[in-house]
Chains A and B, each alone.
Chain A
Amino acid sequence: MDEKPKSKQNPLICLPGQRLCPSDNTYTSGQGTYERQGYIYSQLAGYVDIVDKDKVKVVEVHSKGEQTVVPAQGDIVTAQVNLITQQFCKCFIKCVGDTVLRRPFRALIRKEDVRATEKDKVDIYKSFRPGDIILARVLPITEAHTYQLSTAENELGVVIAHSERGHRMVPISWTEMQCPKTFVKEPRKVAKVVPENINQAEDKEEFKSVQE
């Protein structure tokens, strides 16, 4: 059933699997749609929208309450560590870049992907602990239900961690964090978090104390 997309006054409501229009030079499939055998079909139940991009009309389908952001290969994600073993570390992806996800995605960090150097001498217990918040990069997707992450860069690793007593720890080097109340040091793979605007940060006292 062919339906040419209507104007915004009469928005076209479509169902999943509904054929929208033929896919040719004027119309291409956008988010919420897919192309099959020369036609554009809808993936979601919602409103059809046409967006003009580079002299081509992109057909999109938007549904209410959807979140279309999904971790893709190469994205920097924020995850919380759930379980550690000798071989790997399981975590939940909470945010992709700046977007907070509505539901967490399961992810796995293998022992070899924790660091860039000395990969075989990694001790997961000295890099992550359950409850830590980490920054990681998504690796090429191989498994069906879990993402593979890597923290093998200076800017990736543990950002927020709590000590065994429950106090938030302060990073003191790339491999250690210290509890401010009990002064106990705990080993972690710490992320090198750089302030977004270095010039602005120079005025802040925190940056001055780090430099000292």
Chain B
Amino acid sequence: MANIGEYVYPGDVVKNVKSIKGITIIGPGLRQNEENPNTLCISQAGKLCFREPNTYWIEGKRHRYIPKKGDLVLGVVAKKAGDSLKVDIGSAEFAALPMLAFEGATKKQKPDVQVGDVIYARLLSAHREMEPELICVDSYFKAGRLGVLPNDGFLINISLNLTQRLLDIKDPLLPTLGKKFPYEIVLGVNGRMWLNAKQRKDILTLLRCIEAAEAD
């Protein structure tokens, strides 16, 4: 029997589920219980959270990214396979990124991407049964901030919770660091971060701060 605000384990059951017109919204870590359809079964360890009127979810420390359509992710090019690239985004399978999905790319003029480059892309489609698909342009065929990132940056892996925290506009960590020295940062929802700053010691400072924030 799990209560809101408690730390729960996989297998626990949430009873007394609130719903509006029979609809309850469940987030990551929860699923509909098969034995008792009006209750929820927990599938991830963490804290059970609730938001009015009918939303439940589990907040736990996660590192494994599960691809979802529309996410902005950071990936590393693993292979060049003819017309498309295989990009490692931390999911079960490498994601496919077509060479034509860059701004200004045509069949005769392909973008200059090598194995090992860091790419910031959007997930076009992600299903359990198929490999994920990426694109580096939006529906107007403009790249915006997407595409290949410069080689002089630094890529690190962080937990998914820290990513969500840093993506929150109200979080004070990144603006505070920005007042000390200028830096460039790219956050991928798949638990990856790319940093760049003018001086080496600035990059190291950033890394130490991120490590400290992670340990929280």
Interface residues of A (CB under 8 A from B): 84-86, 124-125, 129-130, 165, 181-182
Contacts and interface: CB of A to CB of B under 8 A. Distances in A.
Contact of B130 (A85, A165, A181, A182): A85
A86 B130 contact: yes
A27 to B, nearest CB: 52
B130 A84 contact: yes
A84 B129 CA distance: 7
Interface string B99-126: 0000000000000000000000000010
A85 B34 contact: no
10 contacts: A84-B129, A85-B131, A86-B96, A86-B133, A124-B130, A125-B125, A125-B129, A125-B130, A130-B129, A182-B32
Interface of B is mostly: loop
B127 interface: yes
B59 to A, nearest CB: 25
Contacts of A86: 96, 130, 133
B133 A165 contact: no
A165 B34 contact: yes
Which of B129, B131, B133 is packed against the most chain A CB atoms within 10 Å? B129
Nearest to A124: B130
Contacts of B129: 84, 125, 129-130
Interface of B: 32, 34, 96, 125, 127, 129-131, 133
Given A84-B129, A84-B130, A125-B127, 8 more contacts: A85-B130, A85-B131, A86-B96, A86-B130, A124-B130, A125-B129, A125-B130, A129-B129
A165 B133 CA distance: 25
Contacts of B133: 86
A203 B131 CA distance: 47
Nearest to B133: A86
A130 B127 CA distance: 12
A129 B127 CA distance: 11
A84 B130 CA distance: 6
A129 B130 CA distance: 9
Contacts of A181: 34
A85 B94 CA distance: 13
A130 B32 CA distance: 23
Contacts of A129: 129
